Homo-oligomer: A and B are copies of this chain.
Amino acid sequence: MTNSSGKIQMAHGTGGRLTRDLVAAVFGKKFSNVILDRMDDAAMLELEGRFAFTTDGHVVSPIFFPGGDIGRLSITGTVNDLAMMGATPLYISAGFIIEEGMPLADLERLALSMREAAGEAGVQVVAGDTKVVEKGAADRIFVNTSGIGLIPPGVHISGAGARPGDVVILSGPIGDHGIAIISQRQGMDFDVEIKSDCAPLGGLVRRMLDASPRLNVLRDPTRGGLAASLNEIAAASRVSVEIDESRVPMRAAVRAACELLGLDPLMLANEGKLVAFVAAQDAGRVLEAMRGSPLGAEAAIIGNVLGAEDPHLPSGRPCVCARTVMGSRRIIQMPSGEHLPRIC
């Protein structure tokens, strides 16, 4: 290792020998590929077609949690943003901001997680950057990842693409990531350990596109949960969305934790789930394709799209509402509070 203290020092961030040694020892070996190994100011990529390009900062606390860590999350988070455009994720950049004093062993462990997640997702880490700030100027480590993915011809997926009549499909049970983080943070001990669902969704999306190229909207309900995603889609598409609460998949342990903590599961973050808006005639085919993948095994139709001004809805504007188990309807608002900071 590059120093005897086993901890990150300020000198690891000044661009000199220690920076070079750290990058070589921790990142260079793990992410080795012909593009990264050139170690130039930028990676060189041959590209042709329509590409998705996205960026995501990760500040999750704690950095290690059941089912994952900030390293794994930083890969899956960005890969999933690309997948939500229907893109095949290809290239990732990783920027680290590290607090002085962080154990090098932790950094090694995060780099290994990133490599593993990149392998699962089929992406290459081709560019990186490392900065170090003084003790107390950051909380251990923040990881920014940006990504590039190829959008296949004929695929046109956008938050503005929902149409009245579309069927809303959710890929699996919600809330796992949110509850995993909260329980770890608060030292809570449930009978059943709830693990983060963080996983790369590119493979699932490819299966779905094979079943139907007419996916209108895909979104991964991360920060703000399903409530935020559905509200964003309704607003962008100028439609209303109605879901049936009883059909939303959820683990019993997550439901119990939400009741205990007074949390709305629709507002909990997920890191390995997606919601899809699909033309009704293709919904069965897409659902079947999803269920054939481990990451979509519990996929379910949870609702459908109405016109913005459908008379069955309680308001005259685009909105999201849920039929409750009691048979009534309630509006699902865009979350506004600060109940779950640093969830991703």
Contact = CB atoms under 8 A, between A and B. Distances in A.
Given A59-B131, A81-B42, A18 B49 contact: no
B134 A224 contact: no
**What is the oligomeric copy number?**
2
Nearest to A13: B341
Interface of A: 9-11, 13-20, 38-59, 61, 80-82, 84-85, 87, 91, 93-97, 126-134, 136-139, 142, 144, 146-149, 151, 158-160, 219-220, 222-224, 228, 232, 236, 267, 269, 334-343
Contacts of A148: 53, 148
Nearest to A85: B42
Which label, helix, strand, loop or mixed, suits the secondary structure of the A interface?
mixed
Nearest to A82: B42
A93 B39 CA distance: 21
A245 B10 CA distance: 29
Contacts of A9: 338
B41 A220 contact: yes
A61 B134 CA distance: 11
A57 B144 contact: yes
B52 A44 contact: yes
B127 A11 contact: no
A198 B125 CA distance: 28
Nearest to A9: B338
Contact of A16 (B39, B81, B334): B334
Contact of A336 (B11, B45, B56, B341): B11
Given A42-B84, A50-B45, A51-B44, A15 B138 contact: no
A47 B49 CA distance: 6
A339 B236 CA distance: 50
The residue in A9, A84, A127 that gathers the most chain B C-beta atoms within 10 A of its C-beta is: A127
Contacts of A52: 41-45
Contacts of A222: 15
B93 A53 contact: yes
The residue in A61, A147, A223, A341 that gathers the most chain B C-beta atoms within 10 A of its C-beta is: A341
Nearest to A45: B51
Given A48-B48, A49-B48, A338-B9, A19 B223 contact: yes
B334 A84 contact: no
Contacts of A57: 95-97, 129-131, 144
B131 A55 contact: no
Given A142-B138, A142-B142, A149 B42 contact: yes
Contact of A138 (B46, B137, B159, B232): B137
A48 B150 CA distance: 12
Contacts of A335: 14-17
Contacts of A147: 42
Contacts of A224: 14-16, 19
A150 to B, nearest CB: 9
Nearest to A151: B44
